[in-house]
Amino acid sequence: MPSWAIALRLVGVGWFLAASVIIGIVAGLFLDEWLGTKVIFTLLGVLVGITVAFYGLYQMVKPLMDFNDKESDKE
C-alpha cells in the first residue's frame, strides 16, 4: 500500500474520532436542554462518543496492521 494511501486513511481516522466525540457532546447538550437536566446527558454523550471513537479507531486501523503483518511474513 502506498504511503499516501496510508496517510489519507489516517486522516480519515482523525476526522472520525473528532466527529464521534463532537456528535456525542452536541447530542448530550441538546438532550439536556430539551429535558431540562443539568449535565447528565452531556456526560453520557461524551462517554458514548469516546466509546464509538475508539471502536471505530480499532476497526479502521486493524486492516493496516494486518496488511503490515502479511508484508513482514513474505520476507
Helix (H, G, I), strand (E, B) or coil at 37: coil
pLDDT digits (tens, 9 = 90+) for 28-75: 999 999 999 999 999 999 999 999 999 999 998 888 787 666 666 665
Q: What is the pLDDT of residue 24?
A: 96
The number of angstroms, rounded, from the C-alpha of 49 to the middle of its chain's C-alpha atoms is 8
- The pTM for the full model equals 0.79
Task: Report the C-alpha gap between 21 and 16 in whole angstroms.
Answer: 9
